[in-house]
Structure 1
């Protein structure tokens, strides 16, 4: 064995072994810490969803920052205790100005999404759990997650639409839960001209009012003045039908959908018993009489 080999085994090898053990331990601690932080934040988010959606949105956004901070701290500890890596990092930091310009140009879109995410977090046009519709793209669903880069929307088909925060921040968003979660949906039904239109309006209003999910939104003054509980109007005189429209109020979007389905199913039976005929497209053919 040469003198260099003996010197390496006696001096350098134990140092390298200790360094490798330190790196392995630091990596293990970093991974465990990041997993614990992520799990803790997820529990806090689920707890806050039941109390305050705004707080849950803030926690969900900063969950990624907290996990990234743990990884950065672990990386810094490893680098600072390895002289070779520390010297290399110092050289990289010396050229930090040039790298910052290059990185800024390369990650302009990503940084824009991060800034947009902070704007969404600050002004809260929507929070986790809100039912929204992006008017430009006609994407509808529930806000499920707001990350550093994107917003995840769970559609009614249980699919996830991933939209960059920069797009969501500049998009026209219809929020069903902003300030007031009550929802009004319109139910349009066409009856024939031969039917009693006033009876059809009365039966439709009574059917809607009898539903447990229907929400009476009249003010005390409107009730005192005798305003109808359910507004039913003649919307149009179509070619083969008188179109009636009823305003269905419910406490939220999901309840409004269930209410509309229930009214449609019941009004069929109510009209059938009352002799009110629901119109459908048809054509009356009159044969031309021939001259005798």
Structure 2
């Protein structure tokens, strides 16, 4: 390989030529991929060495995405600075940066709002990865485990393995219940009703006996009468469970067991019915009046 050949290759790499700009672009893309890979690998090694869980996994995941985006923005800026045509274009755009910033801000208002809201979630930390959240969604109240927090969205995994995707701006301004924030132990308050003719002491004793026989219940607190309804006496069975998921299953188990015990004991579970009160029964027409009506009709 002669010096003339090297000069020819160097001429092709000049950024003023399209071939040189394309080759430099490929080199910058490879550099960006390498830096992103090294960054992610370094973060994985740091997390793997954190055996005491002192690092917040959600913060690390979100900041790694931000760092990766910053790497690519830096790569593009350096590439634009090296290519004379793009550098001149960037200089011309800077002259109207105020107008461009306003237009860009209006166009990307929702995206920027989600991005800034992601930082607020990381800074204030109302929840972490793996926490169980209860939040209002278009499908109703959803309960799920925080699976991921990206630059724009938070992903919840529900009990039936669905993915509820909520924008960061929405979740940061919504009222949510963190079921894992302090203690996972949950009190289940199970409503049970009996008829007014039933013995409430016997009904309460049966309810407490049913609750004591369910192994998922850690502790039985009480079963007071909480309401005298239009057609029922309403109890509230209050028991402690390991977490909210167990509490939901316990409620179904208690309903079924109480129904069977009430049926066996002859205790009425009220249901909707109507009483019809007839104040006056109209008198039947006399025989001669019915005959006149029949003749006139014929």
What TM-score, normalized to structure 1?
A: 0.73
User: If you compute each CA radius of gyration, which structure gives the higher value, 1 or 2?
Assistant: 2
Contact 2:13/2:24, CA 8 A, preserved across alignment: no
Contact 1:45/1:60, CA 8 A, preserved across alignment: no
Partner of 1:171: 174
User: In the alignment, does 2:240 pair up with 1:249?
Assistant: yes
Higher relative contact order (CA 8 A, sep 6+): 1
Structure 2: runs of 5+ lacking an equivalent: 1-7, 284-298
Partner of 1:189: 192
- 1:198 corresponds to which of 186, 198, 201: 201
Q: Matched residues in 2 for 1:40 and 1:280: separation?
A: 64
Contact 1:44/1:59, CA 8 A, preserved across alignment: no
Structure 2 counterparts to residues 1-292 of structure 1, below 5 A: 12-13=11-12, 15=14, 16=17, 17=19, 19-31=21-33, 33-34=35-36, 37=39, 51=53, 55-93=56-94, 95-134=96-135, 138-142=140-144, 143-216=146-219, 229-283=220-274
Structure 1: runs of 5+ lacking an equivalent: 1-8, 217-228
Contact 1:209/1:230, CA 8 A, preserved across alignment: no
Q: Secondary structure at the match of 2:224?
A: strand
Aligned positions, number = 271
Superposed CA deviations along residues 123-163 of structure 1, whole A, max 9, x for unmatched, are 22233333333459654222333233333334455444433
Superposed CA deviations along residues 213-258 of structure 1, whole A, max 9, x for unmatched, are 2233xxxxxxxxxxxx421012233343322211132232111111
Q: Secondary structure at the match of 2:187?
A: strand
What TM-score, normalized to structure 2?
A: 0.72
Query: CA distance change for structure 1 residues 43 and 286 in 2, over 3 Å: closer, same or farther?
Result: farther
Contact 2:21/2:83, CA 8 A, preserved across alignment: yes
Please report the RMSD computed on the Cα atoms of aligned residues, expressed in angstroms.
3.9
Query: CA distance change for structure 1 residues 276 and 59 in 2, over 3 Å: closer, same or farther?
Result: same
Q: Matched residues in 1 for 2:49 and 2:210: separation?
A: 39
CA displacement at 1:201 relative to structure 2: 0.8
Partner of 1:225: none
Query: CA distance change for structure 1 residues 44 and 195 in 2, over 3 Å: closer, same or farther?
Result: farther
Contact 1:181/1:252, CA 8 A, preserved across alignment: yes
